[in-house]
Structure 1
Amino acid sequence: MSTAPVAENGKILSAELQGRWWTWVASEPETTNPVTDTNGSRCGRNQPPDVWFLAGTHGGRAVRACEIPNGRPIAVPVINLVGDDQSCAAFMGRAQGTVALDGKPVKPETYEGDSILVEGVQDNQVTGEEGRFTATACGLWVQLPLLAPGAHSLRIHGQSGDFSVDVDYVLTVGASSA
């Protein structure tokens, strides 16, 4: 498998990242979806080999514990949306968020609206669509560099209008294989 296109700063380009993330969450039905996960038990489902995705919620609070293999950068939306150009413009006009990794602030990046390709399974409640489709994705995102082995805390809070996401992660990065 080839790696994703990256920018000069080593991060996955926004359209690629958002398309892959939305396909990741749309590849699971509601009963096994990482977005509906209440404790972190689903965080390892269908992870790609070159990045580790984390999920927000459908709105509200969650506390999750996840084990992450060593050597994987992490990507997570602070708050995001998939829809069309108009819905993304309205959503991003009110979007705000904060992230803290091990108690230190991390500045989210703004992805205003990218055309993405998504593939969803039947009964996925995240996108509501099955099969391949094109949409516009937007949001506030963080792409974290490789974390040292051991325990880390990641606190995510995002809001746009009346919709808010509040997730605390306890991340355990595995020991180096070298």
Structure 2
Amino acid sequence: MTSRRRTALFLGALLLATACTAAPEHDTAATAPPAPAEEPSESPSPPLAVHTLTSAEVQYGWWNWASGSEANRSPVLDRDGRWCGERQHEDIWYLAGTTGGGPVGRTCAVPVGLPVLFPLVTMVGEAADCTVFMDRAQGSATLDGVPLTAEPLGATRIQLYSVAGNAFGATATGSENTWSCGLWVRLDPLAPGNHELTVRGRAEEPAVSVEVDYHLRAAVPTPTGAV
């Protein structure tokens, strides 16, 4: 993936009343969040205080999660939710948007006790591209019929690690310093039970329209070896 590639991902977006045209917020790469646990921990770390994460931490964490899977296991290209749990972290749960291609319905299990973070609209590219992108992005999102608040995060410098053949067309595995911006939703841990996340979004630069309906079930994870 090149830093000039403008890639839009959507989970819908709350309609912006004003454009996000501020100067870049950060000029240094983000500090990496904890790496995904390869095996469930017997004593998991407490969930992140998701509302206190900086713009760099939000955008670095999500983009490196989303860019780290090959296309055939990508939560971004997932059509039914089977890859929702791919490469998840032990203290935060990410949800993916799409790269377009029409409506998507995903059924996903979300661990009780973990905050949820996802972009409504996001891109990586040049800092100047973010001004245009944020100015023209719009949409809406609801959880169980209640509108969610979108948080605009302006151009932020991140270090992006990608694997070859990911959802965004990376041709080689590697890292690069780039800029990210977008509209984001931070959710406290979901109450146990079933939840409906309905999202709609579109942007003009690049032109894309996305519809995603998430059917979420928040439940206590089954311990390893349990029957």
The Cα shift of 1:175 comes to 3.6
Asked if residue 166 in structure 1 is aligned to residue 211 in structure 2, the reply is: yes
Change (3 A) 1:5 1:113: farther
The Cα shift of 1:3 comes to 8.2
Asked if residue 13 in structure 1 is aligned to residue 54 in structure 2, the reply is: yes
Aligned to 1:139: 182
CA RMSD of aligned residues (A): 2.1
Q: TM-score, normalised by structure 1?
A: 0.90
8 Å Cα contact 1:51-1:73 kept in structure 2: yes
Aligned to 2:16: none
Aligned to 1:77: 119
Query: CA offsets, 1:19-60, max 9 Å, x none?
Result: 111111111111111000000000000001111000000013
In 2, the alpha carbon distance for the partners of 1:163 and 1:138 equals 16
The Cα shift of 1:18 comes to 0.8
Q: Which has the higher strand share?
A: 1
Percent identity of equivalent pairs: 38
Change (3 A) 1:137 1:165: same
Query: CA offsets, 1:152-175, max 9 Å, x none?
Result: 011111211121221110000004
In 2, the alpha carbon distance for the partners of 1:5 and 1:71 equals 10
Aligned to 1:52: 93
In 2, the alpha carbon distance for the partners of 1:111 and 1:46 equals 24
Q: What code does the residue aligned with 1:142 have?
A: V
Structure 2: gaps spanning 5 or more residues = 1-33, 35-44, 223-227
The higher relative CO (CA closer than 8 Å, separation ≥ 6) is in 2
Correspondences of 1:88-167 after superposition (within 5 Å): 88-126=130-168, 128=170, 130-161=173-204, 162-167=207-212
8 Å Cα contact 1:39-1:65 kept in structure 2: yes
The Cα shift of 1:5 comes to 8.2
In 1, the alpha carbon distance for the partners of 2:221 and 2:66 equals 28
8 Å Cα contact 1:149-1:176 kept in structure 2: no
The Cα shift of 1:122 comes to 1.5
Q: What code does the residue aligned with 1:20 have?
A: G
8 Å Cα contact 2:47-2:114 kept in structure 1: no
SS in 2 for 1:34: coil
8 Å Cα contact 2:124-2:178 kept in structure 1: yes
In 2, the alpha carbon distance for the partners of 1:74 and 1:4 equals 10
In 2, the alpha carbon distance for the partners of 1:30 and 1:86 equals 28
Q: What code does the residue aligned with 1:101 have?
A: L
Change (3 A) 1:47 1:123: same
In 2, the alpha carbon distance for the partners of 1:110 and 1:96 equals 11
Change (3 A) 1:131 1:77: same
